[in-house]
Amino acid sequence: MTIYDLTLAELRTKLDNRELSAVEVAEAYRARIAATDQDVNAYITVCDESAMAEAKLADQALAAGEIAPLTGLPIAAKDIFNTAGLKTTCASRILENYIAPYDATVIARIKEQKAVITGKLNMDEFAMGSSNENSAFGATRNPWNLNHVPGGSSGGSAACVASRQAAAALGTDTGGSIRQPASHCGVVGLKPTYGRVSRYGVIAYASSLDQVGPITRDVRDSALLLQAIAGHDPADSTSIDTPVPDYQATLTQELTGLKVGLPAEYFIDGLDEDVRRAVEQAVATYKELGAEIVEVSLPHTSYAVACYYLIATAEASSNLARYDGVRYGVRTDQAENLIDMYMQSRAAGFGAEVKRRIMLGTYALSSGYYDAYYLKAQKVRTMIRQDFLDAFAKVDVLLTPVAPTPAFTIGEKTNDPLQMYLSDIYTIPVNLAGTCAMSLPCGFSAAGLPIGLQLIGKPFEEATILRTAHAFEQATEWHKRKPEF
């Protein structure tokens, strides 16, 4: 097995036993990125020099016995995290040359453990998209089939991990942006409970929905990386001061007696038959593992997409108002006056999808429409959250598909925004409810594309879904398959 095929946990063992050095690992990944990224386009910025410097510092720490869980491990980050001294573009022309002056809290936390940051990853511009086709730096391609999308908005993160360009990656999830690309790329993606992981230093899309999480090759690695980034942060007013459990310690507990809920609204017409079969087989596996399967209802699911695209776009309209050509980012040199400078700078800097969502959100917040749209959406959001709380009174976890289809072809949905938005129909409700969920591989389509299984947990019960996912992973082989390209 080559170095870049090793998981975080396997690399940890080899580094601790001095079978490998952090520099050797960093060099292996540098070569892997150079050999493959012209096809995948997962990276916006590759950190060759700084990664080697960090690897040397990690080796010094290892030699001194100063070993943290992430010391020497190669991790990449979605280009939405401020990273001191590096470009942080959010895959947008308006931030094309922006150099972050400080580290986001999650970046600071992995740096404290002397992880090696391999680079900043491609994404849908400002995290607005389901396919990674909205990037100003070109679309990322799915390593299982380069003609297909990797999902979005954390498409670069999922494709990077699947194609062995980093051992793990950090992403963000506003409506499914970790789970959906993880499903499409055959890796594990975890969206923690809102408030579990700090958002300080993360460029905002929709502040009441955004959450940071890990994308890894298996569940154990997901637990390892979540452990490093979770926890209260006084710099983030939405961060919850609640204890972080030892996620790895509970992974191996048996599932006997665990109640797994199947929401009726998630298994309806329109679900791809390959996806349905894979998820139904996963249900059968859980029965064999001793879990009790219970049918439940989430009655307001049908309103989730409309609700999300009012709340998210309204918050995006507010958050993106700061990009005005004055303080940072693109500024036109052709403006006749101040207002013209605002308009031309934003027109040149933002892509089509970002402009669409800004306009939708501005309309929803405008005088005369606020009560009819935004306020009503917030009331529906409360009903959706209550649906989940009612279901969790009966079961421990919910089991659903991640996406209605496997990864679609590049360009297939770019001219039909509504169909693109419906790609996240199974993931959006979790963000509206603010609870935790994850995607893990559960099968493949007839065309050889990965299919993911979604496990949804109670608020701050990441340990439960990790344990449930780990049991399935140990009983199957799906997570061991990798793309060859």
Alpha carbon distances (Å) from 110 to 194, 223, 256, 301: 20, 14, 35, 36
CA of residue 111 relative to chain centroid, distance: 20
Place of tokens 């299919």: 451
* Residue type at 318 in one-letter notation: S
Q: Give CA torsion, residues 312, 316, 318, 321, to 10 deg.
A: -170
Q: Give CA torsion, residues 12, 13, 15, 18, to 10 deg.
A: 170
379: Cβ contacts below 8 Å, ≥ 6 apart: none
The DSSP output letter for 350 is S
Rg of the chain taking only CA atoms, in angstroms: 21
Catalytic positions, written as ranges: 78, 153, 177
CB-count exposure of residue 269 (10 Å: 0-12, 13-18, 19+): exposed
Rounded Cα–Cα distance for residues 329 and 94 (Å): 5
The DSSP output letter for 192 is P
* Residue type at 425 in one-letter notation: I
Among candidates 416, 452, 466, which has minimal Cα distance to 151? 452
Place of tokens 């409970």: 193
Rounded Cα–Cα distance for residues 251 and 465 (Å): 9
Alpha carbon distances (Å) from 345 to 72, 93, 357, 440, 471: 41, 10, 17, 41, 51
Q: What angle do CA 374, 79, 435 make, to 5 degrees?
A: 45
Q: How many residues does the chain have?
A: 485
Rounded Cα–Cα distance for residues 465 and 457 (Å): 6
Alpha helix positions (H), 41-154: 48-63, 105-112
β-bridge mates for residue 225, sequence order = none
Rounded Cα–Cα distance for residues 297 and 124 (Å): 32
H helix or E strand, kind and range, residue 318: helix 304-319
> Could you give the maximum distance between any two Cα atoms of the chain, in Å?
70
Place of tokens 């020497």: 72
Rounded Cα–Cα distance for residues 370 and 454 (Å): 34
Give the SS3 label for residue 4. Answer: helix
H helix or E strand, kind and range, residue 75: strand 74-78
